[in-house]
């Protein structure tokens, strides 16, 4: 059967029909009709379906007698059909020879599927447009497979991250826990019923209290990391002076810096009041200060607290080895360092958690650094909460 110059395939004509040369055409027709992985069909110059293969029936759900003679816009989502997208594709194919895309199409039952489409303009010997050939592939299963593979990669990365974290956490917790066990054993051996409490016992109890506080801090830090990673960090805001808090943190850090031969200098306004979560902001600023102390060594650390454009600004400037431009973003990621872990301990979570806490406050943290020129970290925080 012929319609507008096309052979209409409805199964009524068997192999061998036609004039001279029809054998090759029939073999080609049989090949096209037998393909089930691709919808292969033809349109007249206006977009009306004039042929249909088994793959088209499998993918789109229409039998040949249901779709031949209808406009191919029925395969498009309603919004695309209404916007004239099918006719635009015909014009593009006619103008450029073909049109290709990946987009959503609609089956007979109304369900959508992701399709890879090639629309090719067909012309006769004189160059006149006689219609279009369209090949459609259903990408739904391929897309599901790709998403499954990406999900597997993400799952493996999550497991690797978890294992890294557990290994680091175990290492960091082991040191104070071992010291705590030894100290408790020492106290148990030295204390006898009825004996007075000696200065040595008082000193050991003080050391015990410090170790317990350190362990509690590590555990609280791990709990905060879990909350940050799940996006469930809840702030407990109160009014306080940020300059006074930074002064406390600097005083706490100074002995460690001095043991390394360095100095830490505080430059602060008389008061920088605001509403923040005191404990967590202390953790964030303390993490950046500890980072500076770790890398500055015997050099000078300058800490500045000020107010700019109604923002509280804490700047921590060290004279350490500096960080290359490509590593500056990476140091704010979990378990990342600008130098190998064998050189410096820690969870590798300090700067990451600092950024999470500052961001939760509506602020931002940045870095200015270069190799051999030290690093300056700056925390900018809204004051009104």
pLDDT of residue 16: 37
The count of other CB atoms within 10 Å of the CB of residue 181 is 11
pLDDT of residue 261: 84
What CATH number should be reported for the domain whose range is 144-229? 1.10.287.130
Work out the burial of residue 308: count CB atoms within 10 Å of its CB; fewer than 13 is exposed, 13-18 middle, 19 or more buried.
Answer: exposed
Instruction: For 88-223, list the strands marked E by DSSP.
Output: 98-106, 112-123, 129-138
CATH of 2-138, one of 3.10.150.10, 3.30.450.20, 3.40.640.10, 3.10.310.30: 3.30.450.20
3-state SS class at 215: helix
The secondary structure of residue 319, as a DSSP letter, is: -
pLDDT digits (tens), the chain, 385 positions: 444 433 344 444 433 344 445 555 555 455 555 566 889 999 999 999 999 998 899 999 999 999 999 999 999 999 999 999 999 999 999 999 999 999 999 999 999 999 999 999 999 999 999 999 999 999 988 877 777 788 888 777 767 766 666 666 665 666 677 777 777 777 766 666 666 767 777 777 777 777 777 677 666 666 666 666 666 677 889 999 999 999 999 998 888 888 888 888 998 878 999 999 998 899 899 989 988 888 766 678 999 999 988 899 999 998 878 887 777 777 777 655 544 444 444 445 778 888 889 998 999 998 888 888 888 999 999 987 5
Structure tokens at 296: 């500055």
pLDDT of residue 9: 43
Cβ–Cβ under 8 Å, residues 361 and 317: no
pLDDT of residue 336: 54
pLDDT of residue 310: 85
What stretch(es) of the chain map to CATH 1.10.287.130? 144-229
pLDDT of residue 369: 86
What CATH number should be reported for the domain whose range is 237-382? 3.30.565.10
What stretch(es) of the chain map to CATH 3.30.565.10? 237-382
pLDDT of residue 80: 94
């Amino acid at each position: 059967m012929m319609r507008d110059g096309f052979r209409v395939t409805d199964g009524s004509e068997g192999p061998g029909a036609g004039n001279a040369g029809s054998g090759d055409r029939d073999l080609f027709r049989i090949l096209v009709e037998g393909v089930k992985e691709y919808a292969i069909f033809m349109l007249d110059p206006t977009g009306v379906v004039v042929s249909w293969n088994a793959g088209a029936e499998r993918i789109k759900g229409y039998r040949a007698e249901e779709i031949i003679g209808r406009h191919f816009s029925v395969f498009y989502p309603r919004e695309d059909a209404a916007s004239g997208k099918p006719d635009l594709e015909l014009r593009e194919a006619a103008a450029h020879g073909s049109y290709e895309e990946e987009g959503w199409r609609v089956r007979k039952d109304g369900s959508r599927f992701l399709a890879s489409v090639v629309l090719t303009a067909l012309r006769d010997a004189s160059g006149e447009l006689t219609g279009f050939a369209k090949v459609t592939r259903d990408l739904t299963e391929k897309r599901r497979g790709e998403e499954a593979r990406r999900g597997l990669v993400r799952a493996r990365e999550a497991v690797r991250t978890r294992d890294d974290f557990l290994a680091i956490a175990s290492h960091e917790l082991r040191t104070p826990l071992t010291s705590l066990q030894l100290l408790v054993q020492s106290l148990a051996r030295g204390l006898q019923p009825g004996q007075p409490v000696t200065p040595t016992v008082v000193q050991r109890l003080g050391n015990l209290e410090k170790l317990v506080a350190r362990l509690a801090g590590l555990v609280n830090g791990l709990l905060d990391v879990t909350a940050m990673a799940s996006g469930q960090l809840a702030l407990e805001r109160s009014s306080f002076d940020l300059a006074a808090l930074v002064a406390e943190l600097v005083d706490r850090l100074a002995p460690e810096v001095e043991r390394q031969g360095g100095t830490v200098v505080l430059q602060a306004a008389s008061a920088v009041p605001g509403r923040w979560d005191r404990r967590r902001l202390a953790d964030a600023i303390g993490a950046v200060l500890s980072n500076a102390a770790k890398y500055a060594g015997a050099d000078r650390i300058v800490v500045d607290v000020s107010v700019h454009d109604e923002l509280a600004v804490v700047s921590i400037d060290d004279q350490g080895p500096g960080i290359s431009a490509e590593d500056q973003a990476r140091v704010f990621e979990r378990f990342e360092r600008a130098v190998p872990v064998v050189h410096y301990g820690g969870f590798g979570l300090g700067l990451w958690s600092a950024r999470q806490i500052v961001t939760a406050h509506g602020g931002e943290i940045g870095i200015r650094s270069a190799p051999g020129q030290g690093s300056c970290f700056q925390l900018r925080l809204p004051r009104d909460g």
